[in-house]
Structure 1
Amino acid sequence: MSGYRELGVDEYESLSAVQLGRRVATGELSPVQLAECALELARAAEPALNAYAAFMPERALRDAAEREAEARDGRVRGPLHGVPIASKDNIAIAGETLGKGSLTSSDAPQPTSSPFAARLLDAGAVIIGRTTTPEFGWKGTGISPRTGVSRNPWDVTRNTGGSSAGSGATVASGAVPIATGTDAGGSVRIPAAFCGVVGLKPTLGAIPVWPGTVNENLSHAGPLARTVADARAVFELARGADPRDPQSAFSTAVPAEPGRVHRVGVVRAPFGIEPSDEVGRVFDDSLRLLRDSGVAEFVEVELPAELPRRIFESLWVTGRGYGFHELIREHGDIMDPGLARLGALAEEYTLPGFLGALVDRRAFNAAFFALFDDLDLLLTPTMPITAFAADAEVPPGGEADAQLPWITWTPYTYPFNITGQPAITIPTHLRPGALPVGLQLVGPWAHDQRVLDVAERFEAVLAPTHETRVARAAR
């Protein structure tokens, strides 16, 4: 470590990924030291959190040493050069197992990295491990047959949310400033909100998804991060077309609009579903601070359509039920019972019924796209509730017998997978003893930069209300 400054744990946890990357680039910090720090913190929290499917210490330290040598030679690959990150265990990394939260997955090393992982590795990031996910990312909690129950760093008796469960937990614990995730119904935003971190779902296809999923027209890839600036850095490095994901061919981004005061539509109870008293109070307090700051123009609006639960159920049940039909038939006894149940449920759908859902989806999307003729962004709570019991599939009083139990308590997230629009959640009012609450910003198709710009302004207003930045319950 000769020539490098020692970095204490508190300072490491207080710095964003972008700040760490700058200090690596100037020769102040050692990528090897950062990787060692991240691995130590992640391992220390692991007995309580169960956030990792596997660590990659040998590879991480080897990669960190290579990034360190490059930085010494003035060859810095990008803003995350030498910065430790984690990757969700449904995103392939060449040479590593891809578990996907399933006992049916092979332990054979992957021959090729997914574009998301490959682009971050090429840009100099150092992956320390693969984070937990429910089986094939099919639901919104952090429970899987392969890895068990993942837990929330703010209160280990509580849920991380899912399906990017371990990614939310490890960023919130302070171990890494960034983790990758995927989001087909809220799977980045749910754990980000429950764990008190930033979570970005870019426009559909902006970050390529490969290997493909059985619900590819809902599936986004995006980061969970300490700050909006960190999420932006990941987006800039990972976005862009890849021929293996045809949807990414339409991922052209609208440029940023510096200095513009945006018109933000406020919906406190999306689709007529009231948030809990705690979430509602925090949303109201946060909105008051934002209004007083003059950071944007806020107007109360009504959503132009009803909750699209039937549309989403039609797409999700048939996609998962038929997509995993053979696997369910052969290995259903060792799979998540809720996922295995979708095989039979899918067969109950008729072709006219499914095509009707596609027609309804078109009408729903058209209504929401038109909403942004008069608005720049939409502001809602991310979740109507805070994190519930870690080993539960639904909160108390929830619809445990529904076709998709998890969408009954995530009504603010999955509609924007149906539309494919960019959405971000940012934490607000993180107080000791309280569970995190997230604010969700939704933008028009391809206006990812607008979403990031305004989220960063909101973050600057709300960050001073956070009495603590890192969840410490696991220590």
Structure 2
Amino acid sequence: MSGYVELDAEEYRAASGLELGRRVAAGELSPVHLAELALGLAAEAEPALNAYAVLHPERARAVAAEREAEVRAGRVRSPLHGVPIAVKDNMLEAGLPAGKGSRTSPETPATESSPMVGRLVDAGTVVIGRTTTPELGWKGTGISPRTGVTRNPWDPTRNSGGSSAGSGTTVGSGAVPIATGTDAGGSVRIPAAFCGAVGLKPTLGAIPVWPGTVNENLSHAGPITRDVRDARAVLDLTRGPDARDPQSYWSRPPGPGGGRRLRVGLVRAPFGIAPEAQVGRVVDPALDALVAAGGAEYREVELPAALPRAVFEALWVTGRGLGFRDLAREHAADMDPGLVRLGPLAEAYSLADYYEALTARRAFNAALAGVLDEWDLLVMPTMPLTAFAADAEVPEGGEADAPLPWITWTPYTYPFNITGQPAVTLPCGFATDGLPVGLQVVGPWAHDDRVLDLAVHAQDVLGPAPAAPRLRESRS
């Protein structure tokens, strides 16, 4: 590797994707060396964390060598050229099968890539592997029949969150600076918050989603990253219409604003639900630090709408239950029992029930839009609790028998899938149990850049979160 700087693992784990990409473009860092670091760190944490459905070392090395040759020839595809990334195993990647956390998934290689994956590959990133997800992305934990239990890098006895489980875990562990995710009820933000990473759910359709899902009016694609600026870079590289996702034509960025001072609402108990005390003791000082740093008008705000649990249940249960009903009838014994149970629950909904839920959704969306007519952004905790037991679906004492157990402990994430608004979580400190706590910024439809501007400012005020201790080091 003559002429290149060799990073040690800790230097690599502390660097943002943009920093790595800048140094690759300058000829300082070798994409092959970065791929080897990423592969080594990922393999070192397996199977203890179980972040990967599969690693592709030879494929990654070959692509990294191509990216290195391109730099030598004067071609740099993007600010993330040569940077290692991971792909959630529910997204298509040309030439590879998608396991989707399910034993029912065929081993047939995809013939084309999902838009987010294809655009990141075209931007010169190097995919090292595919990250775990619960079966067909149906819930907020990292447990699947196909890959087992994915664990939290800060404490492997705890939950990774989901459904972008392995993506949150591998970024939180420091193996890669960027991983792809999908979020239909919190599935980017939950694992990012639990694992100490940044997770961006852009406006619905900003990053096209394909293949479509059975809950397409809730489903967003977005990145999990080490740094807020990396999330912005991924959004810039992957946003924009794609005819395979008609919703991607609705979310074009608005024109420039009026230039007045930003007005930010601080929401300490979203929807009237206070976080656990140990979470509040981290979030409250983070909010106070933002206020002290200035740069905007901050004021305490209460959300005017009730938690829309019944609305989300109606949309999710009917979408997943009916969408996968035939699959569950044929393969129930091989599938997640919770997903299989949604079929009969879905059949109990009448068409009138469904339309009542749509009417209630419209009212909820109007109420939230009204808040964001008055306030440019909202800042709040991402999760009301820290990560619980790795093999549990709900925290101790939770509603295990609920139709959707996972939404009983995610009241701050799924409402913003109902509205389709952009939201980002970033680390803001650690609770007394030693686990990460996330701060969430929410903005109006299509104002993703405004959301990211405040998130960058918050990261600069609060400081970036470190990667989790390496398991090899913690055992020594």
Q: Check the 8 A contact 2:159/2:387 in 1, yes or no.
A: yes
- Distance, in Å, in 1 between the alignment partners of 2:279 and 2:442 is 18
Task: With the length of structure 1 as denominator, give the TM-score of the two structures.
Answer: 0.98
Task: With the length of structure 2 as denominator, give the TM-score of the two structures.
Answer: 0.97
Q: Check the 8 A contact 1:254/1:449 in 2, yes or no.
A: no
- Distance, in Å, in 2 between the alignment partners of 1:355 and 1:391 is 36
The 5 A counterparts of 1:44-63 are: 44-63=44-63
Q: What do residues 396-416 of structure 1 show as CA deviations (whole Å, max 9, x unaligned)? A: 110000000000000000000
- In the alignment, structure 1 residue 470 sits paired with structure 2 residue 471: no
* 1:256 CA displacement: 6.5
Q: Determine helix, strand or coil for the equivalent of 2:425.
A: strand
Partner of 1:425: 425
What letter matches 2:467 in structure 1?
V
Q: Determine helix, strand or coil for the equivalent of 1:124.
A: coil
- Distance, in Å, in 2 between the alignment partners of 1:52 and 1:289 is 37
Q: Check the 8 A contact 2:382/2:438 in 1, yes or no.
A: yes
Change beyond 3 A, Cα 1:256–1:237:
farther
- In the alignment, structure 1 residue 166 sits paired with structure 2 residue 163: no
* 1:258 CA displacement: 11
Q: Determine helix, strand or coil for the equivalent of 2:46.
A: helix
Q: Check the 8 A contact 2:278/2:432 in 1, yes or no.
A: no
Partner of 2:119: 119
- Distance, in Å, in 2 between the alignment partners of 1:131 and 1:272 is 35
Partner of 1:332: 332
- In the alignment, structure 1 residue 274 sits paired with structure 2 residue 271: no
Q: What do residues 179-202 of structure 1 show as CA deviations (whole Å, max 9, x unaligned)? A: 000000000000000001000000
* 1:255 CA displacement: 5.1
Change beyond 3 A, Cα 1:240–1:134:
same
Partner of 2:374: 374
Q: Check the 8 A contact 2:171/2:197 in 1, yes or no.
A: yes
Q: Determine helix, strand or coil for the equivalent of 2:156.
A: strand
Q: Determine helix, strand or coil for the equivalent of 1:48.
A: coil
Q: Determine helix, strand or coil for the equivalent of 1:59.
A: helix
CA RMSD of the aligned region, Å?
1.3
- In the alignment, structure 1 residue 439 sits paired with structure 2 residue 436: no
- Distance, in Å, in 1 between the alignment partners of 2:64 and 2:470 is 29
Q: What do residues 373-396 of structure 1 show as CA deviations (whole Å, max 9, x unaligned)? A: 110101110000000000000001
Give unpaired runs (5+ residues) of structure 1. Answer: none
Q: Check the 8 A contact 1:332/1:340 in 2, yes or no.
A: yes
Q: Check the 8 A contact 1:253/1:446 in 2, yes or no.
A: yes
- In the alignment, structure 1 residue 135 sits paired with structure 2 residue 132: no
* 1:298 CA displacement: 1.2
Q: Name the stretch that deviates more: 221-230 or 361-370.
A: 361-370
- Distance, in Å, in 2 between the alignment partners of 1:343 and 1:372 is 37
- Identical columns (%): 69
Q: Check the 8 A contact 2:88/2:164 in 1, yes or no.
A: yes
Partner of 2:456: 456
* 1:371 CA displacement: 1.0
Q: Name the stretch that deviates more: 260-269 or 283-292.
A: 260-269
Partner of 1:105: 105
Q: Check the 8 A contact 2:86/2:176 in 1, yes or no.
A: yes
What letter matches 2:198 in structure 1?
V
* Matched residue count: 472
What letter matches 1:292 in structure 2?
A
- Distance, in Å, in 2 between the alignment partners of 1:288 and 1:429 is 13
Q: Check the 8 A contact 1:255/1:449 in 2, yes or no.
A: no
Q: Determine helix, strand or coil for the equivalent of 2:471.
A: coil
What letter matches 1:125 in structure 2?
T
Partner of 2:177: 177
Partner of 1:30: 30
Give unpaired runs (5+ residues) of structure 2. Answer: none
Partner of 2:87: 87
